[in-house]
Chains A and B, each alone.
Chain A
Amino acid sequence: MTARKMASPHDFSFQEFEEAAELLSANPDASTHSTARLENVNVGMNMEDDEDAQEETEMLTRQKKNFKFWSFEYYQSFFNIDTFQVLDRIKGSVLPLPGRSFVKHHLRNNPDLYGPFWICATLALIMAISGNVSTFLNESGDSNYHYSPQFHKVTVACVIIYCYAWLVPLGLWGFLQWRTNQSRSLSNYSFLETVSTYGYSLFIYIPAAVLCVIPEGWVHWLIFLLATVVSGSVLIFTFWPILSDDTRVAALSTMVAIIVLHLLLAVCCKFYFFPITQQPLPLTTTAASLVNVTASAPKAHAV
C-alpha cells in the first residue's frame, strides 16, 4: 500500500479507472461514482471533480454505445429521462444565462430525444391552431369570410418544424465535425446533444404562438422578436464556447449562419401562419373594391 502511495499521480489515476471498470462490468447498472470514491478515501491528493466525473461519464457513454442500433434498448437509451429533468431543461431553455452552456449545465451527458420530438410536435400543432384562431378573429368582421379549419397548415407546420429541428443540427454537427478533424484544438458536441439543444431552444415559441392569437400585426412582430432573442441566445451561449476555439472568421461566420437560419424560421412562420391583412392602402383601394364587387355578384346569382 505504501509503495502505491509513493507512485506518481498518473499511475494512481489509472488504477482507479481499472477498478471502477471492473466493478462496472460486474454490475452494469451501478453508478461508479460512489464505489470509486470509497476505494480511494485516503488518497490525500485532492482528485479533481472534473476528471472523476469525466471518467464516469465516459464509461457510461461507452456503456450506451454497446447496444446494437437495431435493438430496442439502443433507442430506449435516448429516452432515459425523468419528468423533473425534462422540466429543468425546459426552464434552462427559457432563461438563458450568459456563460451557462445548455449542454454542460442541463444536458449533462444525458441528451434525450423525448424533449425535441414532443416540443416540435406541440409547436407545429399550436402554431397551426393559433394561426387559424388569429385569422378567424382578424377576419370575422368581414362579411365575405367563411370560416375554414385550414387543416393542411398542420401538415406544412409539421414538415417545417421537424426539418428545421433535425436537419439544421445535422448540418451544423457535420460542419463542426469537419472543422474538428482539421484542427486539433476544437472539440465537438455529439449529434444528440446538438439535436437536443435545438429542440429545447424551440420551446419558447410555444407560448409565443399562443400569445399571437391576438390579431394585431405589431403584437405578432414584437412577440416573435422576443422569442427569437431568447431562443437565439440559448444557441449562442451553447455553441460559442466550442466555436471560439476556431479561427475568428470561421467562428463568427458559423455563429451568424446559426442566427440567420433561426431568424428565417421565425419570419417564415410568422408570414405563413399569422398573416395580417393590412388596411387597404390607397393604391389598392380600387383593386379591393373590384374584388368585393366580383365576389358579391356570384353570391347574388347563387341566392
Chain B
Amino acid sequence: MAEVDESTKPLFAGLSDVSISEDIPVEGEISVPVDSPTQDDEYSTLDEPVKETILRDLKAVGKKFVHVLYPKKSTALLRDWDLWGPLLLCVTLALMLQRSSTDSKEDGGPQFAEVFVLIWFGSVVITLNSKLLGGTISFFQSLCVLGYCILPLTVAMIICRLVLLGSEGIVSFIIRFIVVIVSFGWSTFASTAFLADSQPPNRKALVVYPIFLFYFVISWMILTFAPSSSSSTKTVGH
C-alpha cells in the first residue's frame, strides 16, 4: 500500500506545475459553441420541421402494416416496436363498433370504452400469459404485435359497414360472415407467425389459444354489429 502512494505522489505533484498555454497542444474544443447546431448534428431531431417527424413515424407505422398484411417470419415488427399503430387501430375499431345513442341503454353493442378496454386489457393478459409460460418476448413487443395484427379485423369492419349501408338481409350477412372469418384467420395467422418463435416448443398451443380467443371475441363483435333501426321496439332479453 505504501508503494502505491509513493508512485502516485510524484505524478500528482507534477500535475500542479502544468499550466495550459498556447504552446502545449490540447485536443478538443474547449470553447462553447455559440451558434446553432450545424448540419453535422444529425442525431438531434428536436429542430426538424414537424411534418418530417410525423411523416417518419407514419412511415414506420405504414411499414409495419405491410408486414402484417404479408406476414413472414421477420423480426422488423419486433425490433422497433411502437404503440402508435395499435392505438390508431384500436380507436378506429372502437369508434366504428360503439352503439349509437338511440339504442336502449341495456341491450345493444359495446360502448367505445368497453371495446377500448377489451382490446388493451386483453392484450396485456395475453402478454402476461405468454411471459408466465416462459416466453422470451418482451412485454411491449408483444403488445405491439397483438395490436398491429388487429389491422385485418379493422379492414373487415370497414367492409362490413359499407355492406350494411347497402342491404341488411341474409345476403349481406353471408358476405359479412365470410369477410370476418377470412380476416379472423389472417389476424391469428399473422400474430402466430410473429409470436410463436419466442415460446418454448411444448407450450406453443397454450400460448396460441388465448390469442385465438382474443381475435374470436373481436370478430364476434364485428359480425354482430347491428346498426340501430328507427323502430326501437322491445328488445328481447333484459
Which residues does A use to contact B, with CB under 8 Å? 72, 75-76, 78-79, 81-84, 86, 114, 118, 121-122, 125, 129, 132, 135, 139, 142, 144-153, 275, 277, 291, 295, 298-299, 302-303
Encoded as 1 (CB less than 8 Å from any A CB) or 0, chain B from 93 to 107 comes to 000000000011011
Encoded as 1 (CB less than 8 Å from any A CB) or 0, chain B from 195 to 230 comes to 000000011111001100100110011001110011
User: Do the beta carbons of B237 and A275 come within 8 Å of each other?
Assistant: yes
How many residue-residue contacts, CB under 8 A, span A and B?
93
7 inter-chain pairs at a CB distance below 8 angstroms, sorted by A residue, are A82-B202, A83-B202, A121-B213, A146-B232, A148-B109, A149-B110, A150-B237
Which residues from B are CB-within-8-Å of A298? 233
Which residues from B are CB-within-8-Å of A121? 210, 213
Which residues from B are CB-within-8-Å of A132? 224
| Residue in A81, A118, A122, A299 whose CB lies within 8 Å of B231 | A299
User: Do the beta carbons of A75 and B229 come within 8 Å of each other?
Assistant: no
In Å, the complex CA distance between A14 and B75 comes to: 54
Q: Assuming A150-B108, A298-B233, what are 12 further A-B pairs, CB within 8 angstroms? A: A78-B132, A83-B206, A114-B132, A114-B206, A118-B129, A125-B216, A146-B226, A146-B231, A148-B108, A149-B226, A152-B106, A302-B231
Nearest opposing residue in chain A for B228, CB measure = A146
With A118-B209, A148-B107, A149-B225 known to touch, is A79 a contact of B133 (CB < 8 Å)?
yes
Which residues does B use to contact A, with CB under 8 Å? 103-104, 106-110, 114, 129, 131-134, 202-206, 209-210, 213, 216-217, 220-221, 224-226, 229-237
User: Do the beta carbons of A151 and B221 come within 8 Å of each other?
Assistant: yes
In Å, the complex CA distance between A253 and B217 comes to: 41
In Å, the complex CA distance between A132 and B103 comes to: 17
Which residues from A are CB-within-8-Å of B114? 151
With A132-B224, A148-B235, A149-B224 known to touch, is A83 a contact of B213 (CB < 8 Å)?
no
User: Do the beta carbons of A144 and B206 come within 8 Å of each other?
Assistant: no
Interface of B is mostly: loop
Complex A-B, nearest 6 residue pairs according to Cβ-Cβ distance, in ascending order: A148-B107, A149-B224, A79-B132, A151-B110, A83-B205, A82-B202
User: Do the beta carbons of A295 and B237 come within 8 Å of each other?
Assistant: no
User: Do the beta carbons of B220 and A83 come within 8 Å of each other?
Assistant: no
CB distance from A5 to the nearest CB of B (A): 42
Nearest opposing residue in chain B for A147, CB measure = B226
With A148-B108, A149-B225, A152-B106 known to touch, is A76 a contact of B206 (CB < 8 Å)?
no
| Residue in A118, A152, A153 whose CB lies within 8 Å of B210 | A118
CB distance from A80 to the nearest CB of B (A): 8
With A76-B132, A114-B133 known to touch, is A150 a contact of B107 (CB < 8 Å)?
yes
CB distance from A58 to the nearest CB of B (A): 24
User: Do the beta carbons of A149 and B206 come within 8 Å of each other?
Assistant: no
In Å, the complex CA distance between A83 and B224 comes to: 32
| Residue in A84, A146, A277, A291 whose CB lies within 8 Å of B229 | A146
User: Do the beta carbons of B230 and A302 come within 8 Å of each other?
Assistant: yes
In Å, the complex CA distance between A213 and B205 comes to: 27
With A83-B206, A148-B107 known to touch, is A122 a contact of B213 (CB < 8 Å)?
yes
User: Do the beta carbons of B108 and A149 come within 8 Å of each other?
Assistant: yes
In Å, the complex CA distance between A86 and B209 comes to: 12
User: Do the beta carbons of A144 and B234 come within 8 Å of each other?
Assistant: yes
Which residues from B are CB-within-8-Å of A151? 108-110, 114, 221
Which residues from A are CB-within-8-Å of B129? 79, 114, 118
In Å, the complex CA distance between A291 and B224 comes to: 27
Nearest opposing residue in chain A for B134, CB measure = A76
User: Do the beta carbons of A295 and B107 come within 8 Å of each other?
Assistant: no
CB distance from B220 to the nearest CB of A (A): 6
In Å, the complex CA distance between A295 and B233 comes to: 7
User: Do the beta carbons of A146 and B132 come within 8 Å of each other?
Assistant: no
In Å, the complex CA distance between A135 and B224 comes to: 13
Which residues from B are CB-within-8-Å of A144? 233-234
Nearest opposing residue in chain A for B209, CB measure = A118
Nearest opposing residue in chain A for B213, CB measure = A122
With A76-B134, A144-B233 known to touch, is A81 a contact of B206 (CB < 8 Å)?
yes
Which residues from A are CB-within-8-Å of B202? 82-84
In Å, the complex CA distance between A122 and B235 comes to: 26
Which residues from A are CB-within-8-Å of B216? 125
CB distance from A26 to the nearest CB of B (A): 23
User: Do the beta carbons of B233 and A299 come within 8 Å of each other?
Assistant: yes
Nearest opposing residue in chain B for A291, CB measure = B234
Nearest opposing residue in chain B for A145, CB measure = B236
Nearest opposing residue in chain A for B223, CB measure = A149
User: Do the beta carbons of B234 and A295 come within 8 Å of each other?
Assistant: yes
CB distance from B84 to the nearest CB of A (A): 28
CB distance from A142 to the nearest CB of B (A): 8
CB distance from A138 to the nearest CB of B (A): 8
Which residues from A are CB-within-8-Å of B203? 81-83
In Å, the complex CA distance between A175 and B31 comes to: 78
In Å, the complex CA distance between A125 and B106 comes to: 18
User: Do the beta carbons of B213 and A135 come within 8 Å of each other?
Assistant: no
